[in-house]
A and B are shown apart, each in its own frame.
Chain A
Amino acid sequence: MSAQTFFIGFFGLAAVWFGIVVFRTFSMVRSALALLFSQTALGAMFLSMQAEFLGVLQIMMMATEMSIMAIFMVMFMMDPGGLGEMDMTHQKRLSLSAGIVSFVAAVAVAVFVDWGPVAHTAPDAAQQTVDLGLELLGRSMLIFETAGVTILTAMIAATAVAIQPATWRSKHEH
């Protein structure tokens, strides 16, 4: 077994394990941190697969995203520390069945499909970044620009939804 295979398996296992921990702990802050570790392990897995740019991007993005998520968890949960051991789940059996069925189906597809010849080498990190940059500003420019505009729209929409309505303000001020 090569070192690359070992690290892909190790970080993959870590990502799945921390993903499971997200829903097993009662503490919501620990849930957010477990999700952060899961996503970081995924970033390390990308690095093991020689996708350097995506690996670094994943780790940087998720570190920020999950820190914000942890703050929201503390703001909105009734029991963020988890000391009350509140059960905040429903339809557990159905959810578990759906999760297992989708996992088995996806693994079956992965195992039984003939994926064709596998490439053993990938372009080096610098070449990958050059290629991706040319792709983003060339053939895929419209998709890239659409993604940018969609994020802007989402930011405006999220602010519009979250802003205090004037009726609410007047009701609570008087």
Chain B
Amino acid sequence: MSIDLLLALITGAALFGVGIYGALSQTNLVMIMMGVELMLAGAMVNLVAFWRYLHPDNPAGQMFVLIVMTVMAIEMAVGFGVAIARFRAKGSVEMEEAVELKG
């Protein structure tokens, strides 16, 4: 196996692991979103590596990366919308205080 592909996959795995740690351990909604962003970044590295080292002639691989970028943007938009609503209702975005989804 190519060392470049292995390096990229290990980077993706490490980013995914750090992202899971962040998403599970943080109590603030914005920090949790940062963890999710890192997990998606890990997935994106893998997709680019698979396209580059396994199927460089098939542009559908790059298409998948664009979809993941779209998911990242949507996650940010909706997440910040929820954060504003929550901050307005309760004065904080600490998720330990959010035992119910009611606004």
Tell whether, in the assembled complex, residue B24 and residue A8 are in contact, meaning their CB atoms are under 8 Å apart.
Answer: no
Tell whether, in the assembled complex, residue A162 and residue B66 are in contact, meaning their CB atoms are under 8 Å apart.
Answer: no
Q: Which residues of B contact A151 (CB under 8 A)?
A: 70, 73-74, 77
Tell whether, in the assembled complex, residue B69 and residue A57 are in contact, meaning their CB atoms are under 8 Å apart.
Answer: yes
Tell whether, in the assembled complex, residue B22 and residue A23 are in contact, meaning their CB atoms are under 8 Å apart.
Answer: yes
Tell whether, in the assembled complex, residue B81 and residue A162 are in contact, meaning their CB atoms are under 8 Å apart.
Answer: yes
Distance, CA A122 to CA B70, complexed state (A):
25
Tell whether, in the assembled complex, residue B83 and residue A72 are in contact, meaning their CB atoms are under 8 Å apart.
Answer: yes
Tell whether, in the assembled complex, residue A131 and residue B59 are in contact, meaning their CB atoms are under 8 Å apart.
Answer: yes
Q: Which residues of A contact B34 (CB under 8 A)?
A: 22-23, 31-32, 35, 69
Tell whether, in the assembled complex, residue B80 and residue A72 are in contact, meaning their CB atoms are under 8 Å apart.
Answer: yes
Tell whether, in the assembled complex, residue A95 and residue B1 are in contact, meaning their CB atoms are under 8 Å apart.
Answer: no
Interface residues of B in 16-60 (CB under 8 A from A): 16-22, 24-31, 33-35, 37-38, 41, 44-45, 48-49, 51-57, 59-60
Distance, CA A147 to CA B44, complexed state (A):
16
A125-141 Cβ-contact flags toward B at 8 Å (1 or 0): 00010011011100110
Q: Which residues of A contact B27 (CB under 8 A)?
A: 88-90
A-B residue pairs in contact (CB < 8 Å), sample of 15: A5-B4, A16-B14, A23-B21, A23-B25, A42-B15, A42-B44, A99-B17, A99-B20, A103-B16, A107-B13, A115-B54, A122-B52, A132-B63, A158-B80, A161-B82
15 more A-B contacts (CB under 8 A) besides A12-B14, A164-B88?
A23-B22, A39-B41, A61-B72, A76-B28, A76-B30, A88-B26, A90-B96, A96-B25, A99-B20, A115-B5, A116-B54, A118-B2, A122-B52, A122-B56, A158-B80
Nearest first, the 9 A-B pairs at minimum CB distance are: A103-B17, A158-B81, A106-B13, A99-B21, A12-B11, A95-B25, A110-B9, A95-B24, A161-B81
Binding site for B on A (CB under 8 A): 1, 4-5, 8-9, 12-13, 15-16, 19-20, 22-23, 28, 31-32, 35, 38-39, 42, 45-46, 49-51, 53-54, 57-58, 61, 65, 68-69, 72-73, 75-78, 88-92, 94-96, 98-100, 102-103, 106-107, 110-111, 114-116, 118-119, 121-123, 128, 131-132, 134-136, 139-140, 143-144, 147, 150-151, 154-155, 157-162, 164, 168
